């Protein structure tokens, strides 16, 4: 199987969307050994991001396998690349998995495709789409206040434009919250920072984009920020 889905869009916008965790697909021949209902939870997929990507309408590349099969947003030598445990759930089928085979079949083709697409398009701005849970299983009752988080590592050009715009629009925005892009930023480190391309790492709270109405609303709220950031970068 091809480990990505490509969404068409107008390349002249200069904007490319990437959503590493957009799919809960488990390829044929892989048995994770988990209950089917787990594949609808955050441990398997970033809920809502595929629909937000489609609603935004820019060219997009969506990861095509579940993060439980292989995490496309980690380095190839990361200990959590093929997780044996996630958010308190044991993933039995990954305990003795052939990690090198999964890299060859899904991780490397995905990143090779991203590299080729970026080289051909040379986007002015890359937007990485993820979603996060309203709270942590380890901290019951504690709610995350942010509606959107902006993640980044060393390159702060786009975030320094986008964060004030988000806040001015009344969006409760985390600056490298609910977690830091200096820690969890593998795909953007490789394909954006590695190529000197500005990027926005958007994390949207899942309860806001779990239904079609929320998807449409948040695509409409994020689109002007993305476009204004693109214009600001060229100014």
Which secondary structure element, helix H or strand E, spans residue 84, and what is its range? Answer: none
In this predicted structure, what is the pLDDT of residue 139? 64
Strand-pairing partners, residue 129, are: 202
In this predicted structure, what is the pLDDT of residue 11? 81
Cα dihedral 26→191→108→204 (10° resolution): -10
Q: Per-residue pLDDT for the chain (235 aa), expressed as one digit of tens each? A: 999 999 998 888 999 999 999 999 999 999 999 999 999 999 999 999 999 999 999 999 999 999 999 999 999 999 999 999 988 899 999 999 999 999 999 999 999 999 999 999 999 999 999 999 997 665 666 789 999 999 999 999 999 999 999 999 999 999 999 999 999 999 999 999 999 999 999 999 999 999 999 999 999 999 999 999 999 999 7
Tokens of 88: 């308190």
In this predicted structure, what is the pLDDT of residue 77? 96
CATH number at residue 212: 3.40.630.40
- Long-range contact pairs involving 223-226 (C-beta distance under 8 Å, separation at least 24): 223/56, 224/165, 224/169, 225/162, 225/165, 225/166, 225/169, 226/15, 226/56, 226/58, 226/125, 226/127, 226/162, 226/200
In this predicted structure, what is the pLDDT of residue 116? 98
Number of domains in the chain: 1
Question: CA-CA distances (angstroms) from residue 149 to 63, 76, 128, 165, 167?
Answer: 20, 25, 11, 13, 11
Residue bearing tokens 């199987």: 1
Distance of CA 52 to the CA centre of its chain: 11
Q: Compute the distance between CA of residue 228 and CA of residue 235 in angstroms, rounded to an integer.
A: 11
71: how many CB neighbours lie within 10 A of its CB? 21
Range of the domain at 31: 4-234
In this predicted structure, what is the pLDDT of residue 106? 98
Q: Compute the distance between CA of residue 43 and CA of residue 230 in angstroms, rounded to an integer.
A: 32
DSSP string, 91-133: -GGGTT--HHHHIIIIIHHHHHHHHHHHHHH--SEEEEEEEE-
In this predicted structure, what is the pLDDT of residue 138? 58
């Amino acid at each position: 199987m091809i480990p990505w889905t490509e969404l068409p869009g107008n390349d002249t916008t200069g904007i490319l969307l990437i959503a590493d965790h957009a799919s809960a697909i488990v390829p044929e021949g892989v048995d994770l050994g988990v209950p089917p209902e787990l594949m609808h939870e955050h441990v398997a997929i970033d809920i809502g991001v595929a629909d937000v990507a489609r609603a935004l309408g820019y060219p997009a590349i969506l990861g095509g396998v579940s993060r439980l099969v292989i995490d496309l947003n980690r380095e190839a030598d990361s200990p959590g690349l093929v997780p044996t445990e996630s958010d308190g759930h044991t993933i039995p089928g990954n305990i003795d998995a052939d990690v090198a085979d999964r890299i060859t079949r899904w991780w490397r083709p995905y990143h090779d495709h991203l590299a080729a697409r970026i080289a051909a398009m040379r986007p002015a701005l890359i937007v990485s789409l993820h979603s996060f849970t309203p709270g942590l299983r380890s901290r019951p009752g504690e709610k995350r206040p942010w509606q959107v988080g902006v993640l980044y590592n060393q390159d702060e050009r786009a975030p320094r434009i986008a964060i004030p715009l988000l806040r001015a629009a009344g969006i409760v925005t985390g600056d490298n919250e609910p977690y830091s892009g200096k820690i969890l930023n593998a795909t953007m480190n490789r394909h954006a920072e590695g190529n000197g391309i500005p990027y926005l790492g958007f994390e949207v709270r899942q309860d806001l984009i779990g239904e079609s109405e929320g998807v449409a609303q948040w695509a409409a709220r994020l689109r002007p920020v993305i476009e204004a950031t693109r214009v600001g970068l060229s100014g």
